[in-house]
Structure 1
Amino acid sequence: MKKLLMLVTAASLLCNSVFAAERSVEYSEINKILDLIANKAQSQYILSKFTVEVKQPELKLEEVKLWLEHDGKVIANGTIDKDGNIDLPILPQPRADEVNLVINQEKDAVAIMVNTDIAPLTRQQVKYRDLFILLEDMDAFVELMAGSLSWLAPNFDELEFTFSEPASIQFVDAKGKTQQFMTDDEFKIQIPNKKKWMQQNPSLQFSVLPKQFAPID
C-alpha cells in the first residue's frame, strides 16, 4: 500500500464488502469517518466523501434512497446528488452507535464507497507544517479504516510531489542552511517528515507547482 491511490482502493473495498452483504449496516464506523474528516482532520488538503455506485444497469441513481434508522424509526435522511455524492449527518458517537444506515435497494444493486483524495497546491510558497500535518491525518484515517488490522497498515513518513517538468523545492532551516530537493528522472521529489522541521516550520518554495502530491511510506 505505497501510494494514496492504493489506500483509496482499500477503503472503497472495505465499504463495498459491508454493503454487499445486507441492506442495513451499523452507522458507528461511518460516523467516525465523517467526524474525522469534518472535525478532527488538521490538514486543509485532505478531501473525503462517501459516494453511491450503481451496480445494476437498469437501476437509476435517483431511485436509490438511504436513511438513518433507530428502533425501526427514521431519524434522518441522507441525500445523494447527481454525481452520486452522499450527504450524511454527523451524530454524537454514542448516538451513532445505536443507529443503522439503511438503503432501499437489494444487496449487490449498489455499493457505498468512501473516496479520499488530496487537494492540489495552489501557491508556490507553503509552510512545512501546513503540508506535513497531512501525514498525521492520513495515519489516523488508515487506522480507522483498517480497524483491528491497523497494525498491518503503513505509517506515512514522506510526501511525494509529482511535476510535469524539472523542478525544485527549497527552504532555509533554523541554522540558515538551504535545503534543496530536485526532481528525479520521473519528475518526482520526495521530502521526509522530520520533527525538527515541523518545529521550525520553514516556508517551502516551489519553483513550479506540482501536478499532485501524496503521502508515501
Structure 2
Amino acid sequence: MRSIRDQRLGNDHEELLSLARQLNQNGRPKLNVTPTGSRPYQAYNLEFHCAAYVDELGTLRQRHQLFLEFPRAYPLEAPPTFKRVSPLFHPNIYPHGVFCLGFEGERKWRSGISLESLILHVSRLIRFDPDWVNLDPPANRTQNFWKEWVSKFSLPADTEPFVVGDKLDIPLVDKAHAQPTDRPRRTQTPPVRRSIKIGANRPSSNPDIDATTQGRRS
C-alpha cells in the first residue's frame, strides 16, 4: 500500500502536467515541466514564460528556470520549495534562491493547499504582481531599498495574467494579514499582451517583450 506521501506525489504529478497542458495552448508556452529522478517524482525543473525583473537595473526577461522539490515532511508538515535557477530580482526570494511563500507566523502550511495554487502563486511573484508581493519584511535587502526600487519601475512586470478565470485567485495565504503599506502599488498601464483562458481558444497575442528590455517607468 502506498504511503500518504507517495499518493500525494503521484496526484501532484498528474495535476502539474494537466496545468501545463492547459497553460500551453495555441503554441505559446507558459510553463514547461520536466520531472527528475524516478516515480514518484520528488523534484521538477520548471520553466516559466513571462516577463520578470532579473537585476537591479530593471532588465526584463521572458524565460525563468526554477527547481521544485518536495521535502521529506511533505505534504503533512512542510510545503514544497521553489528555488530560482536563472536570475530573478525580487524581495520575496531569499539570498540562497528559495522563494518565501509566506508560511510563517500565523500563516501555516496546510496539506490541503494544492500544487496548482502554489504554481500560480509563484507565477504572480515572478511577475512582481503588487497584490501578492510582500515587503514586510523582504527576504533580502531592506524594506526601504525595495520601496524605493519599486517606485522606479512598472508593476507588474508582465500585465498578462498567467491564467484567467476560476484558477486565478485560488486561496493560498491570508492576504488580509498584510496592511496596504506592506505591498507595492500597481502601475496603471494598459496591457501589453492578451491573457490565456483555460479551456478556451484565444486570438493571437501581441509579440513578446524583447528578451532583454528595461522596465523603468517613463
Same fold (TM over 0.5): no
TM-score, scaled relative to structure 2 = 0.25
Structure number with larger C-alpha Rg: 1
The structure with the largest helix share of the pair is 1
TM-score, scaled relative to structure 1 = 0.26
